[in-house]
Amino acid sequence: MFDKEKWQEIFSSLKNNKMRTTLTIFGVFWGIFMLIVMLGFGMGFKSMMQEGFGDFATNSLLIWPQQTTKAYKGFPRDRSYMFTNEDVQLIREKFPEIEFIAPKLRAFGIEGANNATRGTKTGAFSVEGTFPEYNLIDPSKITHGRFVNNVDIKEYKKVAVIGKHVKDVLFEEDENPLGEYIKINGIYFKVVGVLTKGASNISLGSDKDRSIVIPLTTFQKVYNRGNEVGFCAVTAVKEANIALVQQKINIFLRRRHSIAPDDDQAVGGFNLAKEFKKFFNMINSVVILIWIVGAATLLAGVIGVSNIMLVVVRERTKEIGIQRALGATPFKIMNNIITEAIFLTASSGYVGIVIGVGVIELVKKIANSSGSDNPFFTHAGVNLNVALMALLILVVFGALAGFIPAKRAINIKPIDALRDD
């Protein structure tokens, strides 16, 4: 490997044809450069997508009541019904694969109609009654105070967690809202917390910043909603198949509410896990596409190297003849040519990797210093394994690029090589 005679030969042929060498090298350089840059921003794209999901529980499911579409047990079709507290209680007890179930009831969210007031300040917000578990499924960021807790639920406490925007509307800028009272649809609630949207960009229903969260039990009681529940967010334990859980819950709810067993429309549902999976599949497809395009570009560069090596062999026919007359074995000749091809691809590829990583880092640096929080730029990057893998591919491709010319070289008879003028 570290054999001066061999490298002398390689460098002499490269030096004698500087322009040709440069152009050849450029093909491979460009291939690997593109691959690295695309992979780097692919990574940025991936983390941009993942950051969008944030800490949202991915193995989760939303269910809500809809109108029935089939007449059953004496009930007409198009019947409206609601889930109840008992439904929630029974589902929680019946299905061990469920991690959390959080019922929710929302009302008065009609834009324009003011429903919350404090002194002279007033605004229209979405009001939601829920359970503490809800914040584990679709987490909000609690900036002050706390979220609704079990004591609130049990004791029907008139407490409210208000969105950031709600606070801005109902309170002065430097005012501490905790412990203050606001009037929601005529009833006073004590503010115990301020929330804003969590790390996830997924928004279910209303804008969190513009909503007021109160205990579900309080909601049902003070607004005369009995034991009604609007919809439920459900998360399953990691090992459980959420689609199966959804099916089981549907069957259970249809039976409880006298809905036809084949009425698929009556219980509305949204399987987030399925959507997440689709998304991750899409991201992976993009990464695969990048590899295919990158590898193909690289291959074009490598074919260039192979081509040039054929020319080199042709040019050096006589020299190869001399070497063989002096006792160089075919293996030695082949070895030299393959080494040269590997050297060409690996060194130009290495430069491509370094510059590619450099460009990504530069973009990152510029994005960071300009205060961008777009993960597409700030989280772009190539991990070491990918770079090493690319280098390995280069060496393999280089060897392949050298193989055909090397084979050609040793197929030349020494005598023909010597005659070549």
Partner 1 sequence: MIELKGLHKSYITGNNKLHVLKGLDLTIEQGELVSVMGSSGSGKSTLLNVLGILDSYDEGFYKLNNTLMDNLSEKKAAQYRNNMLGFVFQSFNLISFKNAVENVALPLYYQGVNRKKRNMIALDYLDRMGLKEWADHMPNELSGGQKQRVAIARAMISKPKVILADEPTGALDSKTSLEVMDLFREINSSGITVIIVTHEKDISEQTDRIIHIKDGIIGSEFTSKN
Residues contacting 16, CB < 8 A, separation 6+? none
- Please say whether the beta carbons of 267 and 253 come within 8 A: yes
| Residue choice 199, 289, 325, 366 for contact with partner 1 (CB under 8 A) | 325
| CA gap 60, 264 in Å, rounded | 19
Written as six digits, the tokens of 248 are: 């089981």
Site string for partner 1, 391-420 (x = CB under 8 A): -------------------x--xxx--x--
Q: Which of 322, 351, 354, 399 binds partner 1 (CB under 8 A)?
A: 322
**Interface residues for partner 1 in 261-320 (CB under 8 A)?**
318-319
Could you say which of 150, 176, 329, 368 contacts partner 1 (CB under 8 A)?
329
Q: How far is the CB of 16 from partner 1 (least distance, A)?
A: 8
Region near partner 1 per CB under 8 A, out of 155-163, 321-329, 335-343, 359-367: 321-329
Could you say which of 221, 330, 404, 420 contacts partner 1 (CB under 8 A)?
330
Task: Scan for tokens 């599949």, then name that residue.
Answer: 281
3-22 footprint of partner 1 as x/- string (CB under 8 A): -xx--xx--x----------
- Cα 47 to Cα 44, 54, 367, 373, 384: the distances in Å are 5, 10, 15, 12, 17
Q: Crossing angle for the helix pair 330-369 and 4-16, nearest 10 degrees?
A: 70
Around Cβ 196, how many Cβ atoms within 10 Å? Answer: 15
- Which range touches partner 1 (CB under 8 A), out of 88-96, 173-181, 265-273, 323-331? 323-331
Q: What Cα–Cα distance (Å) separates residue 115 from each residue in 70, 208, 217, 329, 393? A: 37, 16, 19, 93, 65
Answer whether 58's CB lies under 8 Å from 276's CB.
yes
User: CB of residue 406 vs partner 1: minimum separation in angstroms?
Assistant: 13
Residue 165 binds partner 1 (CB under 8 A): no
Give the separation between CA 342 and CA 187, rounded to whole angstroms.
79
Q: Which is closer to partner 1, CB of 373 or CB of 421?
A: 421
Decide whether 319 or 361 has the Cβ nearer to partner 1: 319
Which C-beta is closer to partner 1: that of 203 or that of 329?
A: 329
Q: Under a CB-based contact definition with an 8 Å cutoff, are residues 184 and 212 in contact? A: yes
Per the document, the length of the chain is 421
Nearest approach in angstroms of CB 330 to partner 1 is: 5
Q: Which is nearer to partner 1, 382 or 410 (CB)?
A: 410
Q: Is residue 328 at the binding interface for partner 1, with CB under 8 A as the rule? A: yes
| Interface residues toward partner 1, by CB under 8 A | 4-5, 8-9, 12, 318-319, 321-332, 410, 413-415, 418, 421
